Amino acid sequence: MSLSTTPERNIVIIGGGIIGCTTAYYLSSHPLFNSNISKITLLEASRDGAAQGASGKAGGLVAKWAYPSELVDVSFSEHARLAEKHCGISRWGWRFVGCGSWEGHGELSGEADSGVGKGGARKSLEKTLGLKGDFKKTRQQLGLPDDLDWVREELTTAYSPMSPPGDTAQVHPYLFTTSMLSLAQERDVQFVQGKATAVNIDKDTKAVSGVTYIPADSSEPKSISATHVIVAAGVWSPKLIPRLPIEGTRAHSITIRPTPDTTISPYVLFTEIELQGVSRRTARASPEIYARPDNEVYCCGPGDNSPVPDTVDDVMVDQHACDDIREHVASISTQLREGVVEKRQACFLPIARGGGPIVGEAKSVAKGLIIATGHTCWGICNAPGTAKAIAELVMDGKITCANLKALDPSRYL
Ligand SMILES: Cc1cc2nc3c(=O)[nH]c(=O)nc-3n(C[C@H](O)[C@H](O)[C@H](O)COP(=O)(O)OP(=O)(O)OC[C@H]3O[C@@H](n4cnc5c(N)ncnc54)[C@H](O)[C@@H]3O)c2cc1C
């Protein structure tokens, strides 16, 4: 299709997380997008702007061994391309990292617990499911890499790399997401702060006709007309399309700033710590630890079953869960023990029951209704592949960058 014959498109994206913002970027960068003819609006419910949920509070791992492979295969190379094109190294902390599983003992100083928030039972975030085989069983040596000097050698029982060099990278999720939004805004995407309350469907044509929302600065509902509506509202997506099988798992995280004279080498560690020094009992903890280029260290704990609140602004932080993460990582690292905790936060991971994510047009609900959600623990990694596929679907009429049949909404809707 040539630019002169491009039909008018009114595209509304619901959700300013990494999926919504990256989709806005890819749509507005598509060769057939012409802002004199078509319009893209990104609607975000938080009063604090984009990336206030999981997309601003995730670890930021980008891995060739992530899943599902059909999205990873596109996403990893797109991450590298975006970083090259838009100075991702300085703008959002893109870099390759060492990644390994670390197993050993931790020496606790305080009354730390298992790291689960008051939301209930401990749930794995399942990031290592994409690895072929059981990496714990394939460990061949107990030694640590020379430059992994910020975990205590004497407490280590095993370390094994989880991927060859070049297969694991990272971004700072908040900086990546907000950069995607800024770049999209430079290409005329309109950012509107307000909470979508309904996707409107024309009864006669069975196509989407618009979105109703409550603007952030008023209680009067408004509507935006639309030829395409993209639901990228994370765990809140079923509030708009109730049959979507999305559940939320809450997870806590903290960031630590080591003392100024300490440099934390670039590793992401998946830990298994046997905690010692707890008078009541010996327990295990498995925080993930991410060194970041600005010498910030991000650490997250397990998930829990806390109910999903009305909006991202209502997510509760259980301070005990944050204290425990700090104690657990401090139990194996002097550098992290001496550092200052800067952020204590929680967010909800969008999990698709029966596997996910869900990416494509929900034709059985309405023509022009596109779903892009349920990215579980790999939404940061898989955002570019998802966004590229959706931009192709909306602008070209079909997805050509990958075969995403297994992720099609028709599996569920
Ligand atoms: C502790 C933790 C660590 C993680 N680490 C990694 C990692 O290392 N690598 C990786 O690839 N992934 C990681 N993830 C997963 C990743 O964070 C998510 O898959 C991803 O952020 C999901 O993005 P999203 O845009 O779908 O959802 P969200 O980030 O939740 O964004 C959805 C947005 O929609 C908005 N919204 C909701 N309802 C409405 C409405 N009605 N109207 C308007 N706006 C609305 C919300 O306010 C929110 O801003 C991690 C997740 C957690 C919890």
Secondary-structure percent of the chain, ordered helix, strand, coil, rounded to 5: 30, 30, 40
Same domain? For 148 and 207 the reply is no
Q: Which residues line ligand 1 (CB under 6 A)?
A: 14-20, 43-46, 52-55, 58-61, 195-196, 232-234, 236, 240, 251, 253, 300, 312, 347, 349-350, 373, 375-381
Same domain? For 322 and 179 the reply is no
DSSP 31-75: TT--TTT-EEEEEE--TT-S--SHHHHS--EEETT-S-HHHHHHH
Same domain? For 143 and 274 the reply is yes
- Tell me 129's DSSP state: G
For residue 255, give the nearest of 112, 393, 57 by alpha carbon: 57
- Give the separation between CA 123 and CA 40, rounded to whole angstroms: 38
Beta carbons of 210 and 200 less than 8 angstroms apart: yes
Helix (H, G, I), strand (E, B) or coil at 207: strand
CATH of the domain at 149: 3.30.9
Select from 320, 351, 382 the last residue of a domain: 351
Question: Per the structure, how many domains does the chain have?
Answer: 2
pLDDT for res 121: 53
Same domain? For 297 and 309 the reply is yes
Same domain? For 103 and 77 the reply is no
Beta carbons of 368 and 229 less than 8 angstroms apart: yes
Helix (H, G, I), strand (E, B) or coil at 87: coil
For 273-301, b/e burial (b = at least 16 CB within 10 A) is bebeebeeeebebbbbbbbbbeebbbbbb
**Per-residue pLDDT of the chain in tens (413 residues, 90 and over written 9):** 544 456 899 999 999 999 999 999 999 999 999 999 999 999 999 999 999 999 999 999 999 999 999 999 999 999 999 999 999 999 999 999 999 999 999 998 754 444 555 555 556 566 655 555 444 433 345 568 989 999 998 899 989 999 999 999 999 999 999 999 999 999 999 999 999 999 999 999 999 999 999 999 999 999 999 999 999 999 999 999 999 999 999 999 999 999 999 999 999 999 999 997 665 556 899 999 999 999 999 999 999 999 999 999 999 999 999 999 999 999 999 999 999 999 999 999 999 998 889 999 999 999 999 999 999 999 999 999 999 999 999 999 999 999 999 999 999 99
Ligand 1: centre distance to CA 312 (Å) = 10
End-to-end CA distance of the chain: 30
Same domain? For 133 and 188 the reply is no
Name the token pair of 196. 């979508």
Select from 351, 380, 395 the last residue of a domain: 351
The atom of ligand 1 lying closest to the CA of 240 is: 41
- Give the separation between CA 350 and CA 177, rounded to whole angstroms: 17
Which of 13, 18, 231 to mutate for ligand 1's pocket (most ligand atoms within 8 Å of CB)? 18
CATH of the domain at 17: 3.50.50.60
CB count in 10 Å sphere of residue 70 = 19
Same domain? For 207 and 329 the reply is no
Same domain? For 257 and 381 the reply is no
Q: Which domain holds residue 105?
A: 96-166+247-351
Same domain? For 20 and 67 the reply is yes
Same domain? For 241 and 178 the reply is yes
* Dihedral pair phi/psi, residue 280, rounded to 5°: -75, -40
Same domain? For 13 and 140 the reply is no
- Tell me 1's DSSP state: -
pLDDT for res 154: 87
Same domain? For 142 and 196 the reply is no
